[in-house]
Amino acid sequence: MRELTVDLGDRSYPVLVGAGARHRLIELMPQGARRAAVVTQQTIPWQVDSGVEQCVFFLDEGEEAKNLESVEQLCREFSRWGLTRSDAIVAVGGGVVTDVAGFVAAVYHRGIAVIHVPTTLLGQVDAAIGGKTGVNLPEGKNLVGAFWQPEAVLCDTETLETLPPREYRSGLGEMAKYAFLGVEGLRDMPLDEAVAACVACKAEVVAGDERESGRRALLNYGHTLAHAIETAGGYDLRHGEAVAIGLLYAAILARHLGRIGDDRVHEHEKLVASYDLPSRLPPGADPDQLIAVMARDKKATSGGLTFVLDGAAGLEVVRGVGEGAVRASLEEIRS
């Protein structure tokens, strides 16, 4: 079992990575909590024991459940059950569950403790770590949310054994991102070590920039186009698959802007292919629609689009990217 720490002073918390980590929940429950609201989904087979009175609350399936209606539903159900501010929420599931439950924890009674038990690879290496919570609007992903750090995160790698192959590969899309953030040798590590390496990278970034005023924005590498594809909808893509496309797109865009050369783009292509992930826009993708959605991204500015892009100094936030380069890069990644 590996134990890492997200160092935020008196709000620091542990992240446990390894087989059976979920069984450590009892010892990590907040002191004084009498009840635990366990938020999960019907299709998730994993159960947890909080050691206190608990009740299970189910979210609907899929990304569609990540909305304000789900937030209201959970808050009302918690209220009827009698959950108090001194109790806790336990989120058991993938990124949808931890994002929604984390946001509910931030707003219910103006803040209640939450512990995440991510059961997908994507959740363990990224979504459940760092305190970013939120839900989607029809106009875009994660446009309503809050920073709300958990009490602990339990990354039980046993839960990954039941993931469908495509869901597992989706997590590899987020893992690929960390390779470009400087985490070396991920493909050669045992699973526990690879998850822990990604967690360590994110924990270090979050500790230095909790609210994304600077370096934390680099964790969005590949996500600007990925979120646009997901918001546009109608495509059979998981989040990590969209991120994989977004990673290669960001490399192509960086080449258009003269920031990197062909060799670096090929490195992106090779890594995405090694994880058996898509590298081109889905058929029928509309560049005009994608550009319009990217312009509504919460990182966009009035002077142009904002992307995290590779360059001679590594990844950087680049603002004011002109539509010409954005459109030309979209055309290239369609072919």
User: Each residue of 20-35: pLDDT tens digit?
Assistant: 999 999 999 999 999 9
pLDDT tens-place string over residues 100-137: 999 999 999 999 999 999 999 999 999 999 999 999 99
Q: Do the domains 221-334 and 2-208 match in fold?
A: no
pLDDT tens-place string over residues 166-203: 999 999 999 999 999 999 999 999 999 999 999 999 99
For 80-107, what is the mean pLDDT? 98
| 7-35 burial code (b ≥16 CB/10 A, e <16) | eeeeeebebbbbeebbebbeebbbeebeb
Structure-block tokens of residue 23: 């069984």
Q: End-to-end distance of the chain based on CA atoms, in angstroms? A: 45
- pLDDT recorded at residue 298: 55
For residue 23, give the amino acid letter: H
* C-beta separation of 40 from 117 below 8 A: no
Q: Classify 131 in phi/psi space as left (phi over 0), alpha (psi -120 to 50) or beta.
A: left
pLDDT tens-place string over residues 223-234: 999 999 999 988
Q: Mean pLDDT in the chain?
A: 95
Helices 223-232 and 287-295, packing angle to 10 deg: 110
Q: Which positions are annotated as active-site residues?
A: 110, 132, 174, 202, 212, 216, 220, 223, 227, 239
Structure-block tokens of residue 160: 């990954």
- pLDDT recorded at residue 304: 80
pLDDT tens-place string over residues 39-50: 999 999 999 999
CATH number of 221-334: 1.20.1090.10
Among the CATH numbers 3.30.70.1400, 3.90.76.10, 3.40.640.10, 3.40.50.1970, which is that of 2-208?
A: 3.40.50.1970
pLDDT tens-place string over residues 290-303: 999 998 875 555 56
- pLDDT recorded at residue 297: 72
- pLDDT recorded at residue 111: 98
Beta-carbon contacts of 110 under 8 Å, excluding residues fewer than 6 positions away, are 85
* Distance separating alpha carbons of residues 193 and 183, to the nearest angstrom: 12
- pLDDT recorded at residue 159: 97
pLDDT tens-place string over residues 221-277: 999 999 999 999 888 899 999 999 999 999 999 999 999 999 999 999 999 999 999
- pLDDT recorded at residue 302: 53
- pLDDT recorded at residue 234: 84
- pLDDT recorded at residue 233: 82
To the nearest whole percent, how much of the chain has pLDDT over 90? Answer: 92
The ranges assigned to domains in the chain are 2-208, 221-334
